């Protein structure tokens, strides 16, 4: 008993000292972490292949585990992003995706939740990488209008950056975007929109009516392949484009869960909210439908993103994927911010982590 009292007393003393010196301790730790962060090159440390990170796995509905839609792709030592929802830039930095090294952004369509993080990301990339050339922004027709709008909104801010940091750090020519619009592909064909250093990116048309244009993308590099659906109804085009792909990153909305929200809105007399939640069901894909597409295409892994509704309560994820295992014989993951899938080159390995 006496020995126990000594142990407890020692622990109390240690805790008291830690509390007393927590400022110096935290400062020392900060120095260590800052030095490590500044010297790290997380992209160079990755093996050759394709690496996918969900920098946003959610939708416009608030979800603490899922920000606005954003898919980070590392291939051939270069960083790309598909869509830039709110919170994307900060998530990327937290996840070790250096925004200053961003090579290009691909947009699937122009719904606000897929573009509202563009302004912040472009500034972080510009000043964080001292770029003298604007950020390449690739998307279907209309992407130049989106680029012009963000440039106008952030123009005044850009002058502050140049004045404060100087042109060596914030070269004026690096502000803004270099928009590269392409015509929406024919319904049953793909269109190559990037072909450099072994990476081929193919755009394909999806059905998100009345949103037009709307596309998805397939990334091929080092014998590995990733398909990103964008927002869409269940589509035979995705099934064809994703044939044999290693990874299908597919949006998913669970109608039976959204219906609960609709019923609650009706009961509360919120007719406008009920109309919206009824409407969104008809231009998205259910988890089971996405699973059916993955099975028909024979993909190696299915990753759900753009999750609707938010999965806020225990057990909701199980309800969300109800029936998925019956429709798809492969492995699947319900994405959260930070979910990672690595596809090493010259391999058939599919490594899922994070989230």
- Model pLDDT, residue 164: 96
Distance (Å, whole) CA 284 – CA 69: 14
Q: Which pLDDT value is given to residue 31?
A: 76
50 or 355, which is more confident = 50
Q: Is 290 exposed, middle or buried (0-12, 13-18, 19+ CB in 10 A)?
A: buried
**In this predicted structure, what is the pLDDT of residue 24?**
79
Confidence of residue 73 (pLDDT cuts 50, 70, 90): very high
80-88 average pLDDT score: 97
Average pLDDT over residues 170-183: 97
pLDDT at 35 over 50: yes
CA distances from 256 to 59, 253, 276, 281, 320 (A): 17, 9, 15, 10, 9
State percent of the chain over pLDDT 90: 85
Helix (H), strand (E) at residue 220: strand 215-221
Q: Which residues contact 73 (CB under 8 A, 6 or more apart)?
A: 50, 51, 52, 79, 80, 81, 82, 219, 226
Q: Is 113 a catalytic residue?
A: yes
- Look at 93-97, 110-114, 163-167 and tell me which has the smallest mean pLDDT: 93-97
- The answer, yes or no, to whether residue 312 has pLDDT greater than 90, is yes
| pLDDT at residue 4, rounded to an integer | 45
Higher-pLDDT residue of 151 and 32 is 151
pLDDT tens digits for range 317-352? 999 999 999 999 999 999 999 999 999 998 999 999
Predicted local confidence at residue 18, as pLDDT: 58
Band (pLDDT 50/70/90 cuts) for residue 32 is confident
Interval 233-243 mean pLDDT: 96
Q: Name which residue leads in pLDDT, 3 or 38.
A: 38
- pLDDT band of residue 1 (cuts 50, 70, 90) is very low
133-156: per-residue pLDDT in tens? Answer: 999 999 999 999 999 999 999 999
pLDDT averaged over every residue in the chain? 93
What DSSP element (H or E) covers 147? helix 143-165
The sheet carrying 224-228 orders its strands as 190-196, 199-205, 215-221, 224-228, 247-253, 301-308, 331-334
Q: Is there a contact between 288 and 256 (Cβ–Cβ < 8 Å)?
A: no
Asked whether the predicted pLDDT for residue 6 surpasses 60, the reply is no
pLDDT for the residue numbered 242: 98
Catalytic residue among 113, 220, 231, 337: 113
pLDDT in tens, 252-290: 999 999 999 999 999 999 999 999 999 999 999 999 999
């Amino acid at each position: 008993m006496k020995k126990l009292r000594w142990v407890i007393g020692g622990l109390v003393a240690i805790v008291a000292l830690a509390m007393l010196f927590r400022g110096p301790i935290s400062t020392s730790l900060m120095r260590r972490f800052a030095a490590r962060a500044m010297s790290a090159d997380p992209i160079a440390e990755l093996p050759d292949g394709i690496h996918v990170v969900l920098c946003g796995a959610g939708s416009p509905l608030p979800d603490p585990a899922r920000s606005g839609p954003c898919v980070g792709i590392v291939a051939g030592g270069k960083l790309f992003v598909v869509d830039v929802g709110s919170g994307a830039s900060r998530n990327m930095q937290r996840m070790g995706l250096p925004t200053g090294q961003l090579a290009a952004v691909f947009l699937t369509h122009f719904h606000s939740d897929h573009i509202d993080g563009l302004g912040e990301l472009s500034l972080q990339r510009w000043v964080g990488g001292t770029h003298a050339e604007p950020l390449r922004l690739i998307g279907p027709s209309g992407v130049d209008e989106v680029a012009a709008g963000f440039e106008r909104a952030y123009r005044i801010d850009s002058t502050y950056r140049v004045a404060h940091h100087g042109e060596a750090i914030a070269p004026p020519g690096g502000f803004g975007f270099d928009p590269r619009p392409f015509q929406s592909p024919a319904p049953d064909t793909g269109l190559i929109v990037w072909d450099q250093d072994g990476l081929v990116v193919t755009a394909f048309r999806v059905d998100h009516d009345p949103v037009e244009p709307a596309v998805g993308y397939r990334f091929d590099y080092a014998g590995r392949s990733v398909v990103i659906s964008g927002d869409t109804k269940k589509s035979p085009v995705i099934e064809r484009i994703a044939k044999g792909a290693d990874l299908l990153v597919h949006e998913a909305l669970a109608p039976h869960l959204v219906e609960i929200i609709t019923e609650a809105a009706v009961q509360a007399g919120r007719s406008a909210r009920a109309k919206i939640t009824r409407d969104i069901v008809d231009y998205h894909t259910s988890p089971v439908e996405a699973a059916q597409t993955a099975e028909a295409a024979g993909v190696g892994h299915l990753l759900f993103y753009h999750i609707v509704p938010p999965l806020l309560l225990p057990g909701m994820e199980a309800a969300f994927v109800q029936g998925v295992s019956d429709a798809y014989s492969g492995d699947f993951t319900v994405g959260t911010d930070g979910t990672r899938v690595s596809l090493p080159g010259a391999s058939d390995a599919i490594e899922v982590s994070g989230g």
